[in-house]
Structure 1
Amino acid sequence: MSDTTETPPETAPPSRRTPPPRRTWSRSWANRSTRTHLIAVVLAIDVIAALVSCAVVVLNARSAVKVETLASMATVEQLVADTISLAQNPNANSLLRTLDLRFQALRHVRVVVQDAAGAPVTVRIAGLRPEKHQAPRWFAALIAPPTRTHSLPIESGGERIGSATITTEPLDEIDEVWGYAVALSLTSLAINIAMLGALYLALGRILAPLARLAEGLTQWERHDYTARLEAPSSRETAAIATRFNKVAEALTATRAANGRLNRQLLTAQDDERRRTALELHDEFGPCLFALEANAASMTRLVERSTDPDRARLAERAADIRDIVGQVQTLNRDLLNRLRPHALGEVPLAECLNLLIRDFSRRHPDTTFTGEFGGLARGYGDIVDLTVFRCIQESMTNAVRHGAARHVAARATEAGGHLDLAIRDDGIGPAEDHRVGLGLSGMRERVDALDGRFTLDKGAPGAVVRITIPVEPEPGGHSSASAQP
């Protein structure tokens, strides 16, 4: 007896178990080309058609063979009667031999002639070779009907001189069907091979535009929008190529516009910084210097005597108060240009009214009016700022470029949309006017909110129309309007 003990097989921990095999076949099929898929589908259809054709051939052949064998059995009886009636010497032995010879020429049946004692009558024909059947056994087994045997008595002069045993033998007919099936199969195979070859070439030409389309999309993925497709001969692929080229042109134009806008934004930032620096230097600098000078003067007045000149001190204090007011005005204008401080704190209509009054103060030769009744308190920080900036920029353009004498702004809300219209009576935009930074900025702001921006020529002047989808903030609607 062995001293070793059997140990149970080790089982791998659950984390180390072999993962189930992936479906590599489906993944490999998906990676095949469209041409391969189509040819595979055609091959599958050919195989199904071949199987259906074979089934039809087998069924028809079985019926035809059955009919032929039954007809041959009926012919034997008529042949026996004719042979007996035509025999000049009704000798039993010679009659049976004659019948045996005539039966050897029959097809689809095998006839064995026997005498009255039951012995077979066989007549050998010299040089007659046994037939070799061409159809394979499996094909014959598919088509051959069940074997039938029939015994027919042979009588002459009212006496029975023998019998004929008839057995169906359909191999001759099966050989004919086999030959027909082989010829049909070879012909179909040759036609299918030629068709698949032609289909392979045709699909290569038809699907070539798709390969070029994939290459073009790859170029787009690399941010190269110079790819263009030649129009193929097919109507559908030609339409795809046309749409591809139009999209490529649109992307190229959009990229160029974005580049111009980025450059304009950089320029605008630099201009704003330069303008702010100039204002700080030209406006705030002198004010601060004046404050310092007045403060120093007041200090000297106080230090010179125990009884300072109160009138001069009051004059210096008034100067300081005026300078501080000027600084506050400059600071408020600067802050409003950078960011309207009241926006979000007071209703939107009030902010727009303040903007109208500010323009009226800075441009006394131009009349500014506004109608902002029915607006909600606000529509969100982004929408409110967009509305404010668009009206501000439109009024600035009307004064600066259009030399307008009257500018009217109107804002209404209806059907979930905020509609703006800024109309002036200036010279209006020229036919070949360039889209500057202001118009580009307004258009970009409105497009970012899924709105619509248009600049139309008025009679006279220009009209800026803006539509923005909005959802009013809680707080109800305010009814405010501005007059000149």
Structure 2
Amino acid sequence: MRCLSLKSELSWLIGLVMVVTLAINLCVLVVHAGPRIRAEDETSVHLTRELVVTAIGSLQETSDPLPALNRFYESLGKLRHVDVKVMSSGDTGVPAPGHAGARNQGSVPGWFVDLVHTPARTLIVPVIIKGIDYGRIAIVSNPVDELEEVWSDVSWLALMSLLITSVIMGAVLLLVRQSLKPFEGLKRGLADLEAGKSNVRIEQRGASEFRAISAALNSLAQTLDHVKTENRSLVDRLIRVQDDERKEIARDLHDEAGPCLFSIRAGVVALIELSADANLDAEKIQKTCNSVNQASEVLQNLFRALLGRLAPRELTEFGLREGLMGLIKSWQVSRSDVTLSLACPHDLSILDEPTALTAFRVVQESLTNVFRHAHAAAARVRVEFGSMPAVSPDHAVFERNRSNADNVIDSKLERDSREKPTSTFSHRALPDQEAEDTPALLIEIEDDGVGISEHPKLSLGLLGMRERVQALEGTISIGKRPEGGTCVAAALPLPKDNEVDP
């Protein structure tokens, strides 16, 4: 079914209202035409009767009233709205009223006469002068003249109303067309946005509603352009990170694996030469074997470290708790000056692989930042089951700094942290029934270091954390602790098929 445009609907609606108004006015005029004609007939008949009675009375003192009476009869034919008939004294019948359209029959349509339906009225006045009966005068109402006046009024009203309606309709169509012109700009703007074009801006014109919509679409287009720019920048950074990581792996393999492989190969060649000698030197063989063993051990440790960076073995084989414990142990070996603690009060083995890997990467990146930038003496990691927090906009994790192209962490987190602690999720959660009913994995990393700066640049590690958490529809926040240091808090919603047993 084809739908009419808004312009057509408004035009048809206004036209229909005006036509209905015209029809109502005509109906009111026609309805009032009958009583108007009847009142005019009654008045005309009454005045004519008074005229006849007065004339007859004036002839009572005349010696020969017949000539004057004939002149009077002739003058009665010039009266409007009535027909006067003179009947002889021997005529006992009553003249039938003439049809309203008998005179000037073609001037008023018959359907209009039938619609008004005004019956003619007849009045008989006897002519008696000095006791002599000169006949009778029949006064018959004739509403043709009044009908012509009413019909003329109706015709002129219909004609003028039609002309005025046409003029108003033309003006309305022009006004509607001009008023709805901004729709074309909105349509083109939306089509450009759908096509993925950049720098789409819609001219703000027309009514206030159109201006508000145009402003909202311009803001949306600006946000989309900024998101596109950010995504391109993020993709470029991720590509550079991948390239840097590949270079780092290649450098490790070249600098560490290469000498080990060369040592192993040299040891094998030496063993071959020793085995070819008739006089076997056990001490040289043992020394060569030890050298090969040491090179193999170094190579094995190198591969284990590379595999741990790419895919933690403890995480894939034993679960998130063991993966985190292995991560903390590796940091404790290399940085014994920082005290680390891990709290996992729940069984984390039921977690699916994406959730567990995301949680591991959040903890891994957070601890990396602690050791690189925090200058902390202690750090604590806590991973447990809970409910998704309803985070207010003031706790937004990653906000865009409009004044420059760098992404920054919202400074409001610092002010909020002064008013209320951020060591647990319960302090940031808002009363929201839907959030409370959503099970989640809660991750929190705290340290007692120098704390995060007020306007830091987001590193690729923080961006990676954000992307990983948002990919699982989770939330993450970073802020200063009231007592000093930094707190990283993340919540990852759990799949519905996961049963969480505290």
- Whether 2:183 is the aligned partner of 1:210: answer yes
Say yes or no: does 1:457 pair with 2:486: no
CA distance in 2, matches of 1:334, 1:90: 151
- Partners of 1:158 and 1:467 lie apart in 2 by 124
Q: Is residue 388 from structure 1 mapped to residue 411 from structure 2 by the alignment?
A: no
2:490 corresponds to: 466
Question: SS where residue 38 of structure 1 aligns?
Answer: helix
Check 1:351–1:477 CA distance in 2 against 1; reply closer, same or farther (3 A cut). farther
2:302 alignment counterpart: 330
Q: Matches of 1:91 and 1:457 in 2, distance apart?
A: 132
Contact 1:344–1:378 (Cα < 8 Å) also in 2: no
Q: Which residue of 1 aligns with 2:11?
A: 39
Aligned to 1:436: 459
What percentage of aligned pairs have identical amino acids? 28
**Do 1:59 and 1:143's aligned partners in 2 also have CA atoms closer than 8 Å?**
no
Q: Deviations over 1:386-426 (max 9, x none)?
A: 11111111211222233433332222322213322222233
Structure 2 unaligned segments of length 5 or more: list them. 94-101, 388-438
* Contact 1:368–1:408 (Cα < 8 Å) also in 2: yes
The answer for the alignment partner of 2:146 in structure 1 is 173
TM-score by length of 2: 0.77
Name the stretch that deviates more: 420-429 or 284-293: 420-429
Q: CA deviation at 1:104?
A: 3.4
User: Aligned AA for 1:217?
Assistant: L
Q: Which residue of structure 1 aligns with residue 417 of structure 2?
A: none
1:366 is aligned, of 326, 331, 338, to 338
CA contact (8 A) 2:202 2:214 kept: yes
- Contact 1:96/1:113, CA 8 A, preserved across alignment: no
Tell me whether 1:354 sits opposite 2:322 in the alignment.
no
Q: Aligned in 2, Cα 1:291/1:74: closer, same or farther, shift over 3 Å?
A: same
Change (3 A) 1:259 1:86: same
What's 2:384 paired with?
Answer: 412
| Pairs within 5 Å for 1:110-259 | 110-118=83-91, 135-138=107-110, 140-141=112-113, 143-150=115-122, 152-156=124-128, 160-232=133-205, 234-259=207-232
The alpha-carbon distance between structure 1 residues 100 and 365, as it changes in their structure 2 partners (threshold 3 A), is farther
Structure 2 residue matching 1:427: 3-state secondary structure? coil
Change (3 A) 1:43 1:308: same
The 8 Å contact of residues 377 and 473 in structure 1, kept in 2 or not, is answered as no
Superposed CA offset, 1:344-363 (max 9, x none): 54332232222222222333
TM-score normalised by length of structure 1: 0.80
Deviation at 1:314, TM superposition (A): 4.1
Q: Secondary structure at the match of 1:231?
A: coil
Answer yes or no: is the 8 Å Cα contact 2:113–2:147 preserved in 1.
no
Q: Which amino acid aligns with 1:369?
A: S
What SS does the aligned partner of 1:343 have? helix
Distance in 1 (CA, whole Å) between partners of 2:134 and 2:148 is 36
Q: In the alignment, is the contact (CA less than 8 A) between 1:143 and 1:174 conserved in 2?
A: no
CA distance in structure 2 between the partners assigned to 1:227 and 1:91 by the alignment: 107
45-54 vs 245-254, greater mean Cα deviation: 45-54
Which has the larger displacement, 131-140 or 448-457?
131-140
Counterparts of 1:163 and 1:306, CA distance in 2: 177
Contact 1:376 1:477 survives alignment (8 Å): no
Secondary structure, counterpart of 2:452 in structure 1:
coil
Mean Cα displacement is larger for which, 201-210 or 214-223? 201-210
Aligned to 2:266: 293
